[in-house]
Amino acid sequence: MPDPAPRRDARGIVAPGELFSRVRFRRHLPAPELRPYLEHYWLIDWALPEPYTTHVVPHPSMNVVFQRYGPLGAGPRAALASAEVSGIGLGLFTKRLEGEGRVCGVQFRPGGFRPFAPARPVSAWTGRRVPLHEAFPDTRAPAGDGAGGGTVLDAVLSPVLSPDDDHARVAALDAFLLAHGPAPDPAAGQAMELVELVRTDRTVLRVGRLARLSGLSPRSLQRLFASHVGVGPKWVILRYRLHEALERAEGDAAPDWADLAAELGYSDQAHLVRDFTATVGLSPTAYARGAVGAVT
């Protein structure tokens, strides 16, 4: 059952306090008929006196991102507006923000994207950020239009990015998505349920247990995740546990890393440290000391 309100946690955001002190960040729920497929909309606006670089350990979620860089009073083209489909990021996502700008994003539930773009398996987008028209061909610029976006894309960008009012932006995002689905897809519902089980059930630490709970063979489970989630079930399990380690590291008291490694299903502390360091760019203890400025 979809949540009645958007998530309020900051899981996956590296040093969330730093980010929230510099930008206006908020989440909104989509229209009721979209909620089974979407986590939320996320909106960011900024006017920075100096550049700031933000880092995110991605969720196992697809995103559609509408963005504009430049004076917020300018039209979409003058402000370098664009839209893209962002597949699941396998590593640390890093973005430099400067001047003025605005982003309006759609975060799908893991497994919830394919009903809107059924032509390809979700694994086709993994690790990629592509123009909107690759997944939604009707937003492609007309042939011979050298503007790089054309009137077709402008008609999508302007309603989402121009309004200052959040409700108007949410309504535009609702309208865009409802015009593209969702198409009936029972496998999407199954995939979303299984990923939610991984996220909420702390006993699901191995693919074998997930297969038993789902009633699927490991091979069928892999195929379902490739077609509708974009990454394998093992990756999803590890990513949610890494999010938890990141959140624990941001607490007032540093955790016992050996105990936490065992709790999260790692064979030993060294494996947790290796995964954390490879993804975040700092060891857990360095991150817990607040050395986030060293993340590159």
Q: Which of 57-61, 82-86, 280-284 has the lowest mean pLDDT?
A: 280-284
CA 96 to chain centroid, in Å, comes to 17
The pTM of this model reads 0.89
pLDDT of residue 11: 87
Residue 251: pLDDT over 80: no
Phi and psi torsions of 62, nearest 5°: -80, 150
For residue 277, how far is the Cα from the chain centroid?
20
Mean pLDDT (whole number) for 59-70 = 95
Lowest pLDDT segment from 50-59, 116-125, 150-159, 286-295: 286-295
- So what's the pLDDT on residue 210? 96
Among 46-55, 172-181, 200-209, 285-294, which is the least confidently predicted range?
285-294
Closest CA to 69 of 84, 55, 88, 90: 84
Report, as an integer, the average pLDDT of 206-231: 96
Average pLDDT over residues 52-61: 94
Most confident of 2-11, 151-160, 260-269: 260-269
User: Can you give the pLDDT at residue 249?
Assistant: 86
At residue 226, what are phi and psi to the nearest 5 degrees? -65, -40
In order, the DSSP letters of 185-225 are -HHHHHHHHHHHHHHH-TT--SHHHHHHHHT--HHHHHHHH
Task: Report the pLDDT averaged over residues 30-38.
Answer: 98
Q: Are 29 and 50 in contact (CB under 8 A)?
A: no
Mean pLDDT of 249-257: 81
Which has the closest alpha carbon to 242: 195, 199, 193?
Answer: 199
Pick the CATH number of 186-294 from 1.20.210.10, 2.40.440.10, 1.10.10.60, 3.30.499.10: 1.10.10.60
Selected residue with higher pLDDT from 146 and 131: 131
CB burial of 188-217 (b: ≥16 within 10 Å; e: otherwise) equals bbebbebbeebbeeeebbebebbbeebebe
Across 109-216, the runs of DSSP E, i.e. the strands, are: 129-131
- Domain edges within the chain: 16-178, 186-294
pLDDT greater than 90 at residue 146: no
